[in-house]
Structure 1
Amino acid sequence: MARRKKLKHHEEHIDESWLIPYADLLTLLLALFIVLFASSSVDANKFQQMSNVFNQIFSGGTGVMDYPAPVPKASSSSTDKEEKTAETLKKADGKGSFGQQEQKELGEIQDRVNQYIQKKQLTDKIGTNLTEEGLLLTIRDNVLFESGSAEVREIHKGISKEISELLVMDPPRNIVISGHTDNVPIQTYQFSSNWDLSVMRAVNFMKIMLENGKLDPEWFSATGFGEFKPITSNDSATGKSKNRRVEILIKPRTPLE
């Protein structure tokens, strides 16, 4: 019986040259997705840095896998600049947020107003505070208005006019008058909400101020915030009383440094 010849299986060589461009394509796609994901939550400065890395990848420079993070660390000069800006903005009392000359001038205005407050014995009704936005004068609403009314009391119109004299400045400054209420709802034939009441109180108070011919209406504006910017809790009668107020914001002339 003839011996059967064993069949020899010859392994065919598989061409794997296609893996190289395929791997390059996957690497580029990975780089693209990393950049798109990271750029959705970074600032413009970091986005520019990531853009540079992306350009290097496509131009044959440093590969994406050479970086432990999507972008290199920011330079020390950039970090120092960001920290300096943040430190300026975080100043609690607002002093130093604008130029020294401007701070001095607003301080002089504040001193003048405080002298008036003490002379008229209004320390429990009018207050001043130098903030990041400028010099803020706060007037309790019971000094100017009856409950639920936007008309300035006749007996207190004199105080309004005296305050207007304190706002005469050369050169003039932008002045914003804002009305604020507590959170007790109001709905009358005049006012459908606290917003309406606060706006009209600010406007009516501003009109009396502008009866002073030394003041230019061009520099004035009025707004109302209703109950939405309280300075304390509305859980007590005392808190509600403090939140009902009119504010006069005297803005600085120089921008934030």
Structure 2
Amino acid sequence: MKKHKKEHHEDHMDETWLVPYSDILTLLLALFIILFAAGQIDQKKYERIMAGFNSAFTGGTSVFESTSELNIDITDDNMGKNNDPVTTETDSLLAAARAREDRDMSDMKAKIDQYIKENNLSAQLETRITEEMLMISIRDYALFDSGSALVKTEAQKLAYIISDILRQYPGYNVEVAGHTDNLPINTAEFPTNWDLSSRRSLNFMKYLLQSDGLDQSRFRSIGYGEFQPIATNTTEEGRAKNRRVEVNILRNFGQPTSIFSSER
């Protein structure tokens, strides 16, 4: 009988290895939870803080100049809370910057609209404020002869007026964009609509930059060809609307979308 009990005890498997194994699994699970949580809070705070730090108030006053000290506290105690000091202060700064930007956009639009009204140019120019920009749309015949990229003499005054306004609001990037209708062009100078729209935007931007006091590093020109229509190309009226140059004054605190995908 004693011999039987001894053999049964010897055949029983040693399970002591399960204790450290379960401890390792528990530690790994805790580590992954901590890493995931830390990654989530870091991403949210990074987006908010960097948006405030890397953007500038209009006129060149940066967020760093607007606050003496920012104590960044990304701890477990602040995870999931909306009232931590960094988030609150950063959100306040961004709200003030957006409000200032809205005023600038409205002021610029009002000045250009006044010029349009005084010179009876409503059929040639149009302004519009979007979430991404202040858009000044100019019909092509106001700037160029048909099939040409040479800026008309009378249109050069318009370039000066716009650049004078831009000088008063130096904190914004400016895109000058050329657009055509979908009728093909094939000349020695302009083999495609890409060429025509690009040259037109570049030539008009050059007249904008002839005025002193503009930061040329904030400007760029681009040709969209026929691929950003705002009206149908099946009628002459629609094609006339599509042939245009836009001066887009881009927001610093607008939606974080590329202007290449903006609704126009």
- TM-score w.r.t. structure 1 length? 0.61
Q: Which runs of 5+ in 2 are unaligned?
A: 47-73, 255-264
CA distance in 1, matches of 2:81, 2:183: 53
Distance 2:41 2:144 in 1: 47
Give the structure 1 partner of residue 228 of structure 2: 230
2:52 is the counterpart of 1:77: no
For the pair 1:150 / 2:149, whether they are aligned, the reply is: yes
Q: Aligned residue for 1:198?
A: 197
Distance across 2 between alignment mates of 1:21 and 1:194:
71
Q: Report the 3-state secondary structure (helix = DSSP H, G, I; strand = E; otherwise coil) of the residue aligned with 2:126.
A: strand
Residue 163 (structure 2) aligned to one of 163, 167, 180: 167
2:202 maps to amino acid = V
Structure 1 segments unaligned to the other structure (5+ residues): 54-71, 90-95
Alignment coverage as a number of residue pairs: 214
1:34/1:128 Cα in 2 relative to 1: closer, same or farther (>3 Å)?
Answer: same
| CA radius of gyration, larger in | 1
* TM-score calculated relative to the size of structure 2: 0.59
Amino acid in the other structure paired with 1:11: H
Tell me the alpha carbon deviations over residues 137-188 of structure 1, each in whole angstroms, 9 at most, x when there is no partner.
1101232234443223x4xx21331441353256562544222234555454
Identical aligned pairs, as a percentage? 32
Q: 1:42 to 1:242 in 2, by over 3 A?
A: farther
CA RMSD of aligned residues (A): 4.3
Distance 1:21 1:107 in 2: 67
Check 1:160–1:45 CA distance in 2 against 1; reply closer, same or farther (3 A cut).
same
Alpha-carbon distance between aligned partners in 2 of 1:121 and 1:159, rounded to the nearest angstrom? 14
Structure with a larger share of its residues in helix: 2
Question: Do the aligned partners of 2:201 and 2:223 also contact (CA within 8 Å) in 1?
Answer: no
**Pair 46,116 (structure 1): closer, same or farther in 2 beyond 3 Å:** closer
| CA distance in structure 1 between the aligned counterparts of 2:194 and 2:230, rounded to whole angstroms | 18
The answer (yes or no) to whether the contact 1:99–1:256 under 8 Å persists in 2 is no
Match of 1:11 in 2: 8
Per-residue deviation, residues 84-117 of structure 1 (Å, max 9, x unmatched): 96xx89xxxxxx86344x5445434433322221
